[in-house]
Amino acid sequence: MEQELIEAMAALDEDKVLQYTQDLLDSGATSVQIQSYLNAGLQKVGKLFENGDYFLADLIVSGIIYRAAMGLFCSSMRRAGSKSLGRIIIGVVENDIHDIGKDIVCDVLISEGFEVIDLGIDVGSRDFVEAVRKHKPDVLALSGVMNFALQSMSDTIKALDKEGLRDTVAIVVGGSSVNNQKAEALGADAVADDPADTAAFCKTVVERKRHEE
């Protein structure tokens, strides 16, 4: 059924994507597994777009279908009531509007018990700086998918440095624009492509801070 889900996502067949996602959930597949199949389908959509077989409208539809499928299991991840583990600010960096990955990271962090302040998409360095100054988060999470997102991430980290705020917050970067090497060059504290890794990093930061207090 995995391959069928990948192909249905690539073919932008919403009914089938929802049906296979539900079938996989019923048969005990984890949300992480299902996400990996949906992502593989999106990789194919990206390739079809690159080759000129798909157009912008198809990318838009792929995003809508992906979110609909995620809706089948993400809502159950939300956790209410318990005390916040720590505060995270997250946003998609300037000029980039791809927010599906960022939203998955948000859902996982919230389900793990963090307070998440989501600044949304196309967030400029000045807005990140103001948000860090105002909310004093434990972690700032920067998301970027486009190649040029690296420049926006770099601008944001430099702006925090200039304002004397860089050392007040741990920075994790993610999204398909970054890897370990690029994150190091940016001056980020960590890179993660897996939302669970992000949550683990945030927990380490918060525990270390509590220890030092």
Q: Give the binding site for ligand B12 (CB under 6 A).
A: 39, 42-43, 45-46, 49-50, 56, 59-60, 62-63, 95-102, 104-105, 141-143, 145-147, 172-176, 192-193, 195, 198
In angstroms, rounded to a whole number, what is the distance separating the alpha carbons of residues 61 and 124?
27
Q: Which is nearer to ligand B12, 74 or 159 (CB)?
A: 74
Q: Which is nearer to ligand B12, 20 or 198 (CB)?
A: 198
Q: Which is nearer to ligand B12, 75 or 81 (CB)?
A: 75
**Min separation Cβ 47 and ligand B12, Å:** 6
Listing DSSP states for 102-171 in one string gives: HHHHHHHHHHHT-EEEE--SSB-HHHHHHHHHHH--SEEEEE--STTHHHHHHHHHHHHHHTT-GGGSEE
* Residue whose entry in the numeric block shows the structure tokens 């960590």: 190
Q: Which is nearer to ligand B12, 81 or 122 (CB)?
A: 122
**Min separation Cβ 20 and ligand B12, Å:** 17
**Min separation Cβ 9 and ligand B12, Å:** 10
In angstroms, rounded to a whole number, what is the distance separating the alpha carbons of residues 100 and 42?
11
